[in-house]
Amino acid sequence: MNLRTLTPLLVSLMTGIPSAVLAQTAEKSAAQAPSTVQGIAPLPGQPNLLASGVPSIPPELRKRVLQYLESRAANLMDVSRDGKQMLIATRFADTNQLHVVEQPLGARFQLTFTPEPINTARFLPTDANILFFLQDVGGGEFFQVFRLDRRNGRSELLTDGKSRHESLSVSDDGRWLAYGGTGRNGKDTDVYVAPTDNPKQARRVTEAEGSWLPLDFSHDGSKLLVMQFRAADDADLHVIDVKTGERRQLTPKEGKGSVNGAALTPDGKSVYLVTDRYGDFAALYKLDLDKAPPSSEPPSLTKSIRWNVESIELSPDGKTLALETNEDGYSRLYLMDTKRGTLSPVEVPRGVMGRLTFPSGRSDVLSYALSTSRSPMDVYQVDLRTKKSTRWTRSEVGGLDTSTFVEPELVHYKSTEGVQVPAFLYMPRERKGKVPVVIVFHGGPEGQSRPNLSTFNQFLAVELGMAVLVPNVRGSEGYGKAYRAMDDGVKREQSLADIGASLDYIASRPELDASRVGVYGGSYGGYMVLATAAFFPERIRAAVDVVGISSLPTFLQNTQAYRRDLRRAEYGDERKPEVRQVQERISPLNAVERIKAALFVQQGANDPRVPQSEAEQIVKAVRARGADVWYMLALDEGHGFGKKANRDTVTMATFLFLEKHLGAPSSTTGSIR
């Protein structure tokens, strides 16, 4: 569907965004050319997807890929108070929409039918017929808060339709709704609280510089935990009196650390906090509100676990704390007896967990989502008495036999300065001689590649016979705060050595062909792709950059205002001459004369994080040297590709590109532009 061809009134009716806002957006779009790249044109039948230099997709490749593109997942949004309804986001048409499942492996009953995806939603605990959700338009990430009444199927816009909102939270007593929003000045994110019986009457309970986000209400709704976020390694926890607005900081003003999770006890007198403030890994602590911030380091409740605690959920009766840990990329689930402080593991499939949540009215069951390397994200419920899990959803993978999928090997290899890079290696089962390799870099930079299902990786390994190396280079989350900080600011220059280490590791494996290597990555991973092409030009043949950074200074200057200071904390402040000098030196745009690999750039026109200009300046600079560059631009996408039709086309084009340059050349005729 092409939103640009619809009237603002019609789109308003479909999305809930005020028609005046949409009209202004349409006028601005009409006055500007969609791209500065010469020769770019819409694809046949997909007017919102523009391409330049991209060959047509051969029918035989399209047929091979089709089933892999039909994989879907069930992402857990919430569970009803009685634990008998699971609210999930899954895709049956073009985008993720909200569904309810009312029994294990029961039918998925669809609640929303909109052209834009929905990936955050909560039940009103006192009435499961009422939902609150976040939704944006065109991937721009200016999310709005909506209220859905399941009795009539109608959604109502609750926010202003133009500022950005995030982090929905609803109190267990059903009285209060909280979220973060940039309505005050478009730059800072404040916390808003609204009564659920009159949710348009929201009031700001924080009004300060930076990013402030709600985390958890007390059981009676009188208190709200709020995080002040500056960077992944620098956040503070505050508690706010919902009625008076009085705010008090709970973490020490000295020093810094992360806030990975927090939960108030039912009596409202204590808070469980997950932070790496007191050690290299994020651990669990309990703070007495009357004595917070603590004058000395509190005792860790998870000192037996030398990995990050990633998330926590406290049962309504306060007797059980569920916590998920990230152990070398794999999730583990533990239950803590809060009275005794004892931890007991819960057996779950070996994979990666999503959301954990207790029903607000029950303490005997816990719902969670989980994906493995061979199965998509699905929803489970564990009985705390027996510790047995019941599967509630079984998501399809295009009818494929997933037993043929590859289980990755966890490997580690040396880089400079004593760094050991952890990585997952997917090897094709059937191979004759050395196989080509695709390195897949994650985004973030403080992201982490983990062994959940990637049909992209599986197609490369199973169908194209390529190995896939997925490294977690220094700066990645999951391996302690010292490792995460190794690429901060000007230290990013040293982190590029991990690219060389990855290429050296490929050369060290006799079954891998170091002469046929490609790189793929999105966002910061896209920067790593371009950096590989620019600074290791002799060692790769193909590079696929998805919404990636081509110049660190121009990225920081042009990213949305609400993100700029957060990103400066990670990349360094480009306004400082000594910092900018390093950023310029390691920016691929300034080394285009060295790029030899074939290049494929993919971009969303509405990307608020890495703007379209980052893609187009590298495309034009490399093409100016006479190189053949493929470029695809989605007019209705932002930071990535959320709509199935767009995602399918760019994915097939990516496989065509990689097969052409790393495998046997594909026979193609014609061109889509």
pLDDT above 50 for 228: yes
| Contact in structure between 381 and 356 (CB atoms under 8 Å) | no
**323 bridge partner residues:** 312, 334
Cα separation, 597 vs 142, in Å, equals 36
Sorted by sequence, the CB contacts under 8 Å of residue 233 that are 6+ apart come out as 256, 257, 258, 276, 481, 484, 485
- The pair of structure tokens assigned to 532 is 């590989």
pLDDT tens digits, one per residue of 104-156: 999 999 999 999 999 999 999 999 999 999 999 988 889 999 999 999 999 99
Cα separation, 499 vs 434, in Å, equals 21
Cα separation, 225 vs 176, in Å, equals 13
Distance of CA 390 to the CA centre of its chain: 27
Widest Cα–Cα separation across the chain: 73
pLDDT tens digits, one per residue of 404-434: 999 999 999 999 999 999 999 999 988 788 9
Cα separation, 278 vs 380, in Å, equals 33
Give me the sheet containing 308-314, strands edge to edge.
308-314, 320-327, 330-337, 342-346
Helix (H, G, I), strand (E, B) or coil at 672: coil
What is the predicted pLDDT for the residue at 96? 93
Q: List C-alpha distances in Å: 303 to 234, 283, 308, 343.
A: 22, 7, 11, 11
| Contact in structure between 652 and 65 (CB atoms under 8 Å) | yes
Cis peptide before 445 (omega within 30 of 0): yes
Cα separation, 114 vs 122, in Å, equals 17
User: What average pLDDT does this structure show over 524-532?
Assistant: 96
DSSP-derived secondary structure letter, 479: S
Cα separation, 429 vs 62, in Å, equals 23
The per-residue DSSP string of 368-383 comes to: EEEEETTEEEEEEEEE
Q: List C-alpha distances in Å: 460 to 36, 112, 521.
A: 32, 34, 14
Number of C-beta neighbours around residue 54 at 10 A: 24
pLDDT above 70 for 539: yes
Q: Which of 572, 553, 412 is nearest to 485 (CA)?
A: 572
- Grade residue 324 by pLDDT with cuts at 50, 70 and 90: very high
- The pair of structure tokens assigned to 122 is 């909560």
Helix (H, G, I), strand (E, B) or coil at 668: coil
pLDDT tens digits, one per residue of 22-58: 444 444 444 578 999 999 999 999 999 999 999 999 9
pTM for the model stands at 0.90
Q: Whole-angstrom distance between the N-terminal and C-terminal Cα of the chain?
A: 21
Cα separation, 363 vs 368, in Å, equals 14
DSSP-derived secondary structure letter, 406: P
